[in-house]
Chains A and B, each alone.
Chain A
Amino acid sequence: MAAEHYNYWVVVILMMAGFYVVIRARNLVKKIVGLNIFQTSVFILYISIGKVAGGSAPILAPGITTYSNPLPHVLILTAIVVGVATTALGLALVVRIHEAYGTVDDEEIQTQDADP
């Protein structure tokens, strides 16, 4: 059972690992890394559900009748672009935060804001 659905296990493990880093990490850059792992798990979810058992790569060729579904791949290309944009914006914010606070540590930022 587990071996049959191993792709979902990979997804779940990656997703929880990423989620844990987002919640637990104090370093703002590490949080973004966690967010990336979290998003990547969803990319894998989409890509793996596009596989049709016994299907070939979705390139038209003579003699092949069963193809894998290319649509999830196309969808996830869009999601990857969105992910890259989010990462870039997040990192840009971290740079600005570092300029303003002199640190990228979540708790230190909070103490700085608590007593200005």
Chain B
Amino acid sequence: MTGSDLPVLLVIVPLLAAPLCLVLRRGGAAWAVALASSGYCLYAAYTLLGTVRAGGTLDYAMGGWPAPWGIAYRIDLLNAYVLLLVAAIAAVVVLYARVSAAVEIPRHQHARFYAALLLCLAGMLGITITGDAFNLFVFLEISSLSSYALISLGRDRRALTASYQYLIMGTLGATFILIGVGLLYMLTGTLNMVDIAGRIQGLAGNRTLLAAFAFLVAGIGLKLALFPLHLWLPNAYAYAPSVVTALLAGTATKVAVYVLLRFLYTVFGYDLAFADAFLHYLLAALAVVGLLVASTVAIFQDDVKRMLAYSSVAQIGYTVLGISLLNQTGLTAALVHLFNHGLMKTALFLALGCVFYRLGSVCLDDLRGLGRQMPWTLAAFVAGGLSLIGVPLTVGFISKWYLVLAALELGWWPVAVVVLGGSLLSVIYIGRVVEVAYMQPRPAGAERVREAPLGLLLPTWALVAATFWFGIDTGLTLGTAGEIAGQLFGGGR
């Protein structure tokens, strides 16, 4: 267990822990394995970020085969930052899973549930850490396949159709990525991202390159749930078990954003990717329309989980908007929002999981008057909601502030207005929940509801505390994000 092998251990540990869960067969033992391995991943990711911050980009040649012949892991600040987010969210969610899964998932499925959870984690960490384009596709499918299985564990039968729909759209997306990688290989004869990047410079205007680019962006857009390719997301989030929703909301789309950035900036490079400003306007337009439409649709949802799912689509809009602005402030905003939204949305879904634990429902009508009976849970929800709106002192404020700055830097003041307008829309949908939970009385004859157990509240509040912590002390998030944005622009310009 030397420090130099950390990059590979980060993926191998959860990957091997997954079959171990199946062998152990007992839910409790499987949970312990999952907790230990996700805890190890968090430690490894944190150490890696420290190493990369201190010593620069880290290269790891798999099996001692030097790049570009072997598969290389290449960890720069961007990977390390996303790895830390994924590992942290996963560790908190696994901690939470023990109590929550006990009521939401049939007992005999527990070991399989933790195995799938770990495979999903291994896949997402693998996508983020690898420097090989084909390896990325394989890890993408590992995480996708296990997330389809996880979603289908939901108790409602609509979880099955949601999972099926996601499987179809997710596979189309992954296959598009596979085509894109294939076309790049055709042009360059290599799969190593840095190697590809070196060989496609000067090929601007090549039709195969253009096709590869289009397939990759469309495929990643599908996995990213970029409006209007988001159709799989609301149902998948709404009907999956609470734990799974919290994990996917905090990690899956974030990893997809990472993949987009990696291909745009590292593989294609700024000059090729944004050569004719087409993507600049396309992404900006999709992001703006997406965030307005999804926020509006969220207002009319009666299932709170579904409401937050639409809000996730809107938040992806903010992130992509930051990327599309093509200035350093915008990219910083996107990267900060990536991290911040991961924290707050997971916190919100965990709070909803607490409600579901006691009520067996997250419909708006059933939440009436719950503010007094589950004060800590609802307070966590309100705190997460404030972050989503972007109230000062929360993380949401930081990302939106920089997004507005970036839009103004470009002179796109209508976009800045849209960002603020989106916040107003989120005031409405979060406000609906607050109004129902705090202003309305408990329906007559409803049983008294007890506060959620500590096993659920502690992980939830840990994340809520993080949303305030990183809203005030922005050194880790904003500092790192700014540095990454500088690196990405430095490499491309």
Listed in ascending order, the chain A residues whose CB lies under 8 Å from chain B are: 19, 22, 28, 31, 35, 38-39, 42, 45-46, 49, 72, 75, 78-79, 82, 85-86, 89-90, 93-94, 96-97, 100-101, 109, 113
Contact = CB atoms under 8 A, between A and B. Distances in A.
Contacts, number: 66
B167 A49 contact: no
A38 B172 contact: yes
B138 A86 contact: no
Given A42-B178, A45-B182, A49-B186, A109 B161 contact: yes
Contacts of B152: 93, 96
A15 B480 CA distance: 42
B158 interface: yes
A45 B179 contact: yes
B138 A22 contact: no
Interface of B: 134, 137-138, 141, 145, 148-149, 152, 157-158, 160-161, 163-164, 167-168, 171-172, 175, 178-179, 182, 185-186, 191
A60 B132 CA distance: 27
Given A89-B145, A93-B167, A38 B161 contact: no
Contacts of A97: 157, 160-161, 164
Given A45-B179, A113-B161, A82 B141 contact: yes
A1 to B, nearest CB: 14
A10 to B, nearest CB: 14
B182 A39 contact: no
The 6 closest A-B pairs by CB, nearest first: A100-B157, A82-B141, A93-B164, A97-B160, A49-B186, A96-B160
Contact of A22 (B163, B168, B178, B179): B168
Given A42-B182, A101-B157, A113-B161, A85 B145 contact: yes
B175 A38 contact: yes
Contact of B167 (A78, A89, A96): A89
23 contacts: A19-B172, A38-B172, A38-B175, A39-B171, A39-B175, A42-B175, A42-B179, A45-B182, A46-B182, A72-B182, A72-B185, A75-B185, A79-B178, A82-B145, A89-B145, A90-B164, A93-B148, A94-B164, A96-B152, A97-B157, A97-B160, A100-B157, A113-B158
A100 B160 contact: yes
Contacts of A89: 145, 148-149, 167
B171 A86 contact: yes
A53 to B, nearest CB: 14
A42 B173 CA distance: 13
A78 to B, nearest CB: 6
Residue from A31, A38, A89, A96 whose CB has the most chain B CB atoms within 10 Å: A89
A114 to B, nearest CB: 11
Given A94-B164, A97-B164, 9 more contacts: A38-B175, A42-B175, A45-B179, A45-B182, A75-B134, A75-B191, A86-B167, A90-B167, A93-B152
A55 B172 CA distance: 33
A86 B160 CA distance: 15
A38 B179 CA distance: 11
A85 B145 CA distance: 8
Contacts of A39: 171, 175
Nearest to A95: B160
A82 to B, nearest CB: 5
A31 B178 CA distance: 20
A41 B137 CA distance: 17
A100 B152 CA distance: 12
A72 to B, nearest CB: 7
Nearest to B190: A71
Given A49-B182, A101-B157, A93 B163 contact: yes
Nearest to B167: A90
Nearest to B215: A42
Contacts of B175: 38-39, 42
Nearest to A72: B185
Contacts of A101: 157
Contacts of A42: 175, 178-179, 182
A31 B158 CA distance: 18
A105 B472 CA distance: 52
A109 B165 CA distance: 12
Contacts of A96: 152, 160
A87 B196 CA distance: 31
A100 B141 CA distance: 27
A86 B178 CA distance: 15
